[in-house]
Chains A and B, each alone.
Chain A
Amino acid sequence: MPDKSDLPQGTLDLLILQVVAAGSIHGYAIAQRLQLISRDVVQVPQGSLYPALHRLENRGLLTADWKMSDTGRESKFYRLTPQGRKQLKAEAASWLRLTEAIELILKPAGGSR
């Protein structure tokens, strides 16, 4: 089983924003999607996912509605607010910049990949 924890501080929020950016989605599906896309590297337990979702909702980056879903019950679907979209853009850009920089630093030390 791949190591599933140890997401750097603050990255979970960014990942959630990215997943939600694709369209209205409920909490369970977010976790599934993250796990799928990361090839099981990112596994988010309920205890981290929902506080993060609520925090993002609280900060006005996400908004949510209760909608009928495939299970025949109402589920809470999250989507990005315009502010969330802006935040995602900014954070993603800065994350990419940072990882590029880290890569640059790590390359010579680690030799060829």
Chain B
Amino acid sequence: MTWWRRVLRRRALERELDAELRDHVDREITDRVRAGESEADVRRQMRLTSGGLDQVKEVCRDVRRPPALADLAADVRFAWRILARNGWATAGAILTLALAMGVANTTFISTYATLWRDFPFERSDRIAIMRTADGRGREAGVSYPDFEDWRRDARVFDGPAAAFAIGTISLGRDGAAPEQFDGLYVSADTFSVLRVKPMLGRDFSTADDRPGAEAVAVISSNIWKSRYAASRDVLGRKVTVNGVTPATIVGVMPDGIRFIDFTDVWLPLAQMPGLAAQRRDTRPLMMIGRLPDDADLDRVRADLTPIAANLAVAHPDTNKDVRPLVNSLVEAYNGGIALTESAIFVPLLAAGFVLLIAAANLANLLLARAAYRSREIAIRLAIGATRWRIVRGLLVESLLLASVAWVLAVGGSWLALTLSTSPGAPPLPYWRLKMDVRLLGTLAAIALVTTGLFGLGPALYASRRATADGLKEGGRLSTPPTVRRWTHALLVGQFAVTLALLNGAGLTARRFFNFYALDRSVQTSDALTTLIRLPAQTYATRDQRLAFHEQLKARLLSVPGVTASTVASAAPFSTAGRRPLTSVDGRPTTDPPPDVMTVVVEPAYFQTVVRGLVLGAPFSELDGTPGREVAIVNQRFASVYLGAGNPIGRRLEIRPPATQRTYLREADGPVPPVSVAIVGVAPDIRQVRDAVPMVYLPFRAEAPAAVALIVRGSNGLGPVVPAVRDAVNAIDPDLALGVVRTLDELRDRSRAYPADVASQFAKIGGLALVFSGVGLYSAMAYAVRRRTQEIAVRMALGAQATQVSWLFLKTGAWVISAGVVLGVPAALVVGRLLQNTFVGTEARDPVTLIVTVALLAIVALVASIVPARRATRLEPTTALRIE
């Protein structure tokens, strides 16, 4: 029988013990009566020899149970009774701690999910990614010829190395309208390096990845469902890739496999346009390989460096000083995104402070109770309890509090995570909310330390006070001054932290409101936008692309309900390319030059999309032709780069081309910068999150292959969508449209993330406010209860209700004023932190600060008035009878 069953079966054993001993007694009596003794004599004799059944039982019990455990069980029962006696206060403290831990937990989990996203591949941490850096430290990928050399000579990998390149791929002529997808050109071994198998069909063989091989495609389960209705006949289906290449679908990847992150179509690397003729200094590829168990990234570096050195000798004009950059794939992937999102740490920090506030509440509860219990402890010490026994009892109590709170927190956040993950698509690829054992451990430690420190400390103090002291003070002992000082200090600290947090939440919210104010410069209503990507094979020259757009515009404007149509390299609220700004007014900028956001627009953009210019004139139809190299900048650009003075007529030098993703950056070619004259200043609008310096260039100058088409309609956009599709396919039946969205939709999506940060912050600030209020309330209520008799005496002696209220309001007022005195500097510090994290946040905003202080004061006053009023309503006679 194991010990725990013994504990559980305590009652049954007790019954058995009783039955067994009675059986013995009955038998002995029966025997001895039969032998002639009287029953009463026998019983008396038995009691004399064995000392009564109860003593026998006690000895038997001692034999059975491990004593420490039994005592522990008693401790737990005792602790539970003590906690339950103060039901509301205990529940409040536990809930506060649980809620704070839960919030910290969920905040951490979502932060972690954002910062660290792992690929769903077997041992994804063992995949290395290789890129290059040149002598000037500029990062690039790998060229195809270099990749072939590296792959052939590298020895370090477990299996062959692979390479891939990102590209947009359209599918058409397969029975559905042509459509654009995120695509990836992958060498034949890519999927085996990733250790991914298709769920239908096959992936690429070496034969597929040869120049001149028939084109084959693997698709994601995503488009298998949306475009091919999840039909098994999809294998072998003929489809036209990028409007020109006939291909066959040979495989479907399982759900969730969209390597790199949004890919829907994979093609063999050999199908990548221009691959065969690729120069060594064109470096669009990423190389990946799997590390064997005994190798690390340094081994890979050591393996690749001599190969690169050999290439540098063999091809000095392209490969001189080019060295391999080796990272873990997962780290490289996260690094590219995480750095821009460091702002998500701020809510995490705020959650930590809420945890502190909750801990302070708990501390106050425990402090108050320790004071209350000094008498109980004194009595127990007096009748012979050891110090250790008492301390252990208190420890158990703290442990019980902490573990109940912890269980509630973990359960609550599990529930919250389950509820929040189910609907809709994840906000980021590979976003997975999962509980982290380390964090749960940390939280448990925090709970234990909080309860242990604040529960045990005062209790020890109380137990150390002379036994006589504790007893002398009798049942009406007032709270010891030390404890009261601690309580007040904790309350003040809480209010100071709350003030800083709330103020921070207010600042953050205001900042986002300021951002949204920028959106008024964009006419978002009744406008839709989609991406058009003209394939290089059919639209090789700028004039061909200009001709296409001219035709398209003519067709669109003839559609009833369409009032305007324009194209730009990026619609508002979507990310745009950046180009290096090499000089301003003939003076070179920094080295390396700053990248400024650049959008190529038609003249109509500043009527159709942006509501006019602040200064100067929009582009004319001739702008962008030779001799008319002009630009329009936004207000932020003017203030950052042009300083005071009229921006019109100033000259900038900007170097094409754009770089979209850092890990696909092409080595900067010897493209000379273009000199442009500023002809106008546009209002700031948001491309991504915030207003940044922007330069608009005339569309005619380059007519990029990929553009956003923006169409305005007058009577609802429903009929316009098919009309746009028809117009595009009437010109080019193979041309695929991207996703069609309204500008309103784009705007709302762009707000989702900042709104999320702001609301997260607001929630945490609100929670801090509630906790502080609850903390003050319970401290006040406790004080009122302890001083009930005093109040009754005062009132019986004729004190006025207001005088009695003031007794308690005084404390509230003191806490509030001290809290403000400490909280305002703290708020300013938090404001500075926010300003550094979220560009555009005001560090000190008097309005927000005043509103925050007022809100806090109201909460504090309510929290102290309610218990104080209750004190005045006491009936003196009943109050005196209490205790």
Contact = CB atoms under 8 A, between A and B. Distances in A.
Interface of A: 26-28, 31-32, 45-47, 50-51, 54-55, 58, 66, 71, 73-76
Interface in B7-34: 16-17, 19-21, 23-28, 30-31
B425 interface: no
A32 B64 CA distance: 24
Contacts of A26: 23
Contact of A71 (B26, B50, B63, B64): B26
Contacts of A74: 19
Contacts of A27: 20, 23-24
A18 to B, nearest CB: 20
A46 B25 CA distance: 9
Contacts of B614: none
A26 B51 CA distance: 21
Interface stretch (B52-60, B350-358, B491-499, B551-559): B52-60
Given A28-B27, A45-B49, A71-B26, A50 B21 contact: yes
Give the dominant DSSP class at B's interface: helix
A76 B56 contact: no
Interface of B: 16-17, 19-21, 23-28, 30-31, 46, 49-51, 55-56, 59-60, 62-64
A51 B404 CA distance: 38
Contacts of B19: 74, 76
Nearest to B49: A45
7 contacts: A26-B23, A47-B50, A51-B60, A51-B63, A54-B63, A58-B64, A71-B27
A28 B24 contact: yes
Contact of A50 (B28, B49, B56): B56
Nearest to B55: A47
Given A45-B50, A46-B46, A51 B27 contact: no
A27 B49 CA distance: 17
A18 B25 CA distance: 23
A76 B50 contact: no
A76 B21 CA distance: 10
Given A27-B20, A46-B21, A47-B55, A54 B60 contact: yes
Contacts of B60: 50-51, 54
A77 to B, nearest CB: 10
B732 to A, nearest CB: 88
A66 B63 CA distance: 20
B49 to A, nearest CB: 5
Contacts of A71: 23, 26-27, 30
A25 B293 CA distance: 65
Contacts, number: 57
A68 to B, nearest CB: 12
Task: Choose among B16, B21, B23, B62 the residue with the greatest number of A CB atoms under 10 Å from its CB.
Answer: B23
Give the dominant DSSP class at A's interface: helix
A54 B28 CA distance: 20
A64 to B, nearest CB: 9
Contacts of B27: 28, 71
A66 B20 CA distance: 9
A58 B62 CA distance: 11
Contacts of B24: 27-28, 31, 46, 50
A46 B47 CA distance: 10
B64 A76 contact: no
Contacts of B51: 47
B23 A28 contact: yes
Contacts of B20: 27, 50, 75-76
Contacts of B25: 46
B56 A47 contact: yes
Contact of A75 (B23, B28, B63): B23
Nearest to B23: A75
A55 B66 CA distance: 12
A76 B15 CA distance: 12
Chain A to chain B: the 3 pairs with minimum beta-carbon distance, closest first: A47-B50, A46-B50, A28-B27
A40 B55 CA distance: 25
A28 B60 CA distance: 16
Nearest to B59: A51
A45 B55 CA distance: 12
A71 to B, nearest CB: 7
Contact of B23 (A31, A51, A73): A73
B17 to A, nearest CB: 8
B46 A55 contact: no
A42 to B, nearest CB: 14
A58 B17 CA distance: 14
A66 B16 CA distance: 9
